[in-house]
Amino acid sequence: MKGAVERSLMRAAKPVFLAVILLSMSTFSGCIGLVVSRELMEWNRGVPETEEAVVVYGFERVFDSTDPEDIIFHPEPHQIRIDSEVKEIQVFFRVQMDFSEIAGVETSNLTSTVRYVHAMLWEPGANKNTDTPYWEENATTDRYPPLQRFSPPFELGVWELEVEAQGYGLTFPPIDQISFHDEFEVSVSVIRPCIEFPERADPDECIPV
């Protein structure tokens, strides 16, 4: 009976003894101390959780002029890297064109050559002259489609978000009722899973899986 008790006490003492040794070694200078310190930090870390990392690429514009040099908006496309970790792509699109309807009559057929927003999302290697975009919207009047969600499989590589728009803005301080400013917003959100540790210094830090 006495021998069994002694063996039990020895087993219980081992973790405590090991912790004391590790703490002592961590005070040493050099590589051994650094390695041991890192191991102790890892041992003390909280339980990580899987969250979602969201990266947003987009364009937005409020037109504020009728000058021919300011009415066209055609920036360089956004380069979007899509890898096997991406679990969802979300596309948001919104266009507001004042006076696109007057007295219940839609005027876009009359103004579509001078007021429009054309947005496209291209897959890697697409021929923009002959291929169809992965996603596309072309608005010549107010447009508020719902958020669109796309799930894998995705073509891996660099995608492109492209937009070309033409709009006008004019302010009449004495008569605000006839002032107008065309505007739009388009964005692509790329969602990946990531690992989040409770004791992270940066609350926005999320390590890719």
CA–CA separation, 74 and 26 (whole Å): 58
CA–CA separation, 149 and 156 (whole Å): 17
Query: If pLDDT is split at 50, 70 and 90, which confidence band does 103 have?
Result: very low
pLDDT in tens, 33-65: 555 556 555 555 566 777 889 999 999 999 998
Structural tokens at position 203: 């609350």
Topology (CATH level 3) of domain 49-195: Jelly Rolls (2.60.120)
Going from N- to C-terminal start, the domains of the chain cover 2-44, 49-195
- pTM equals 0.68
Phi/psi at 54 (nearest 5 deg)? -120, 125
